[in-house]
Amino acid sequence: MSESPHPRADELSWLSTRELMALLQAEDRVAVDAVGEHLDRVAEAVDAIATRLRAGGHLHYFGAGTSGRLAALDAVECAPTFGLEPGVVIAHDAGDGEAEDDRRRGAGEAREAALQRDDAVVGVSASGRTGYVLAAVGEARAAGSLVVGLSCAPGSPLGAASDVAIEVETGAEVIAGSTRLKAGTVQKVVLNMLSTGVFIRLGRTYRGRMVDVVASNDKLRARAAAIVADLTGASAAAVQRALAESGGSAKLAILMLRCGLAAGEARSRLSSVGGDLAGALGEGGR
């Protein structure tokens, strides 16, 4: 991550608002495109994290400042999107100011998390030098957890401390040093890729649908019904019956309707294949 002034920094006050918006969009596009050069490392991280979670581990994010908030956002979105049990994805966010440098806090919160060998830890730091994150990662390594480092600083201490280092260089920010801009865009994009890739690999989706969606409100109940109807071709009445009998689980309802199973039978079959709907339906995987 470069903290040097942007090549057009001296022009910013004189650009029209439309020109300024075009510059910001163009720079975000640069950031998104830069991720493409690191897909091998992102894929490596996805497979490694999925292996740990498949064995019963948990996914922990450690970050501070903008990085911590982005990690917390990704973590909180995982549960309703993928139907996760509480505690599968946990974000540890130090906040702003001196807390970012607080190594004692980072180490302490990592120890309080009781990290295990089957856990995966993603340290998120635009600079790759955040004390809180580095201390947490150090504790994770001592516990034998998988460590993934996400930064915008090639050759950073975070990368050196990681099993898988994802270091996406973004170049100068339009506002020098503001990691909520291109660096923030990169971190949001990569975090989306990591969590989405992991839970696709763990069978928490089916054919690009949110079959594990938590139907906790009218919008999501309608979404669950639409997914079941789409994947089974069943009537609206049959869909609603199956959802009622499955306790609102779109995944179970699909299996029931596709295979003519009662809810208990469908639940047992799904459990026997680790919750993977494709496996329960007898469909081949990768």
From the first residue on, what is the mean pLDDT of each consecutive set of 10 residues in the chain (286 residues)?
Answer: 72 88 92 96 98 96 96 94 92 93 96 97 96 98 98 96 96 79 92 97 93 91 96 96 95 96 95 92 74
Q: How far apart are CA 108 and CA 12, in angstroms?
A: 43
Query: What are 47's two structure tokens?
Result: 């497979």
pLDDT digits (tens, 9 = 90+) for 28-63: 999 999 999 999 999 999 999 999 999 999 999 999
Phi, psi of 120, deg, nearest 5:
-120, 135
- pLDDT score of 2: 58
pLDDT given for residue 1 in this prediction: 56
How far apart are alpha carbons 10 and 43 in whole angstroms? 39
Q: Give catalytic residues, as residue numbers.
A: 77, 100
User: What is residue 182's predicted lDDT score, i.e. its pLDDT?
Assistant: 85
- At residue 172, the pLDDT reads 82
pLDDT, position 177: 74
pLDDT in tens, 192-214: 999 999 999 999 999 999 999 98
30-201: CATH topology: Rossmann fold (3.40.50)
Give the CATH fold of the 218-280 domain: Helicase, Ruva Protein; domain 3 (1.10.8)
Give the type of residue at 189.
V
Question: The whole model's pTM is what?
Answer: 0.91
State how far the Cα of 231 lies from the Cα of 111, in Å rounded to an integer. 44
Start-end of CATH 3.40.50.10490 domains in the chain: 30-201
